[in-house]
Chain A
Amino acid sequence: MSEEKITPAAAVGASTQNSENEIGRRGFFKWLTVGWIAFGAATGGFFTIMIRFLFPNVLFEPPQTFKIGFPDDYAKNTVDIRFKKSFNVWVVRDEESIFALSTVCTHLGCTPNWLQTEGKFKCPCHGSGFRMTGINFEGPAPRPLERYKVSLSNDGQILVDKTKSFKWEKGEWENSESFLIV
């Protein structure tokens, strides 16, 4: 065996010109450009797909303005849950008026259920409770349910306009558009 000392390729004093496949200055920039273009294309493509994803293929949006029948269809002191599924409103008739309540819980946006026997809306997510009027009285919901604009259309039916909502905490339930005297 020879006594020759073996120098590792990365050691101090090791030969720096030991291979043909070393990349020169020009080659380095060439590969750098290729690398950046590839990276940019991949990220760009990825974000294009991501942004495309934000726009759904089918968007089901029920009409914002709709008729819900005649005032006489609603009995006094009842909550009508027929339009909960189709239009996300409860139609409530109390002693003197009819109003449309939003079905979105003001705490975190779940859909509460109307409990007939307890006379309240109760949210299954965090236990918020609302009276028939929409006023919150239990659980974490910070404010009452919102009401929508109701009016009588020319054919005598009730017209609900969901583009205009009325918030209790801003005193908007006093607004004559937020209820219908019957």
Chain B
Amino acid sequence: MIDTFKSVIDALSAPTVSFTLLTVFTPLVFPPTDWFDKVNRKLGIWRLWTKPGLWAGMGFLTFFFVVGYFDPNFHITLTKADNFPIVLMVYSMFFFIWLGMSKAYVNDERIEQGLKPTEYNDPDDKVLVWPDLVYIEFIALILFMVFLIVWSILVAAPLEEPANPASTPNPSKAPWYFLGLQEMLVYFDPWLAGIVFPMFIIFGMMAIPYIDMNPKGSGYYSFKERRIGICIFMYGWLILWLFLIVIGTFFRGPNWNFFGPFEYWDPHKVVPLNNVNLSEYFWVKMFNTGLPSNIMLRESIGFVVVFAYMFMFPIFLAKTWFKDLFEKIGPVRYTSLMLFGLSMFSLPIKMYLRWFFNLKYIIAIPEWFFNI
């Protein structure tokens, strides 16, 4: 019984399977349109945001970690001092998303009935910053300090031997909060995954209030009033950041190979990963000729693809499906939204291209350190 559970989880956690499932389920769990909402209601996914849903989710997570604790292979990764924050993160993320979503669903129903949201207060009924708010913050600060002190006393810092440039630990992992970035680095060149994308994440989040002109949902929880925004954000936050951290922590073993949580970390696991560049697919496999010696000619197909994706595709969308959006938010907001949005979705696209076509780089110019 437990073994079946373990092998099912191992099979599901293969990147192609887990990533596809999560990508499909994100719009069902956070339905951006009426159609997804209907499917969500039909499948009963909305029950996740009720009290039984919370207990079911927490129960499943606890079952997973308890089984993992008694599994000889998962025990090693689970009980590492570095990985304790990830377990905390999984629980706290689920709880806080549940909290927000359950309150949002209550408010959605109230707004539908023409009532004010639950957070609405009489304008005369004020809450003072001092002492009301500052007191709560002060108590929270003290409790958190106590927790950090107890934690640092109980768990020794996971220090290793002095650094040696000649021997990199295998697997060599970034701090847990950077494991999402390290996962991105598997699919992109360092200048993109290490510099451009982190900057885009920061600037993109700063741009959200300027791009999103929806005045509703300010000061109270609500889902329906900004469901598209929530869905896209949750995909970026939950799948492209937190899930990649979980992958990097529990699922990446020696030689950065992929392992299910209950699998043995075999350092000699051989995974066929012969990578091919788009230029090689185009010239060698399609036309049966050698690569042209001219770099620009060699990579021309890659430039066309990147240009089409980043510049032609937004124009096409602005004329078709996003016509209303484009007219509503104007060219500057639309361009920023497309720049950040398409960059974000280039990560899952690149991951799938790597998994299914062994595609390494769309534009590959190692001569100039320019690879996309």
Contact = CB atoms under 8 A, between A and B. Distances in A.
A172 B268 CA distance: 33
Interface in B182-218: 182, 185-190, 194
Contacts of B257: 127
Nearest to B194: A108
A120 to B, nearest CB: 9
B255 interface: yes
A84 B165 CA distance: 10
Prevailing SS type, chain B contact patch: loop
Interface stretch (B30-38, B153-161, B364-372): B364-372
Nearest to B293: A171
Sort chain A's interface into a size bin.
20 to 34
A142 B366 contact: yes
B164 A85 contact: yes
Residue from B255, B256, B268 whose CB has the most chain A CB atoms within 10 Å: B255
A136 B170 CA distance: 19
Interface stretch (B86-94, B231-239, B270-278): B270-278
Interface of B: 164-172, 182, 185-190, 194, 254-257, 268, 270, 273-275, 360-361, 364, 366-367, 369, 371
B172 A127 contact: no
B92 to A, nearest CB: 28
B189 A123 contact: no
Interface of A: 84-86, 88, 103, 106-108, 110-113, 115, 117-118, 122-127, 129, 136-140, 142-143, 169-170
B194 A113 contact: no
Nearest to B276: A137
Nearest to B275: A138
Contacts of A113: 168, 170, 255
Contacts of A136: 275
A142 B364 contact: yes
B165 A88 contact: yes
A142 B164 contact: no
Given A125-B182, A129-B273, A140 B170 contact: no
A110 B190 contact: no
Contact of B166 (A106, A111, A117, A129): A111
Nearest to B190: A108
B265 to A, nearest CB: 12
B189 A124 contact: no
B367 A117 contact: no
Nearest to A117: B268
Nearest to A127: B256
A85 B164 CA distance: 8
B167 A85 contact: yes
Contact of B371 (A108, A118, A127, A142): A142
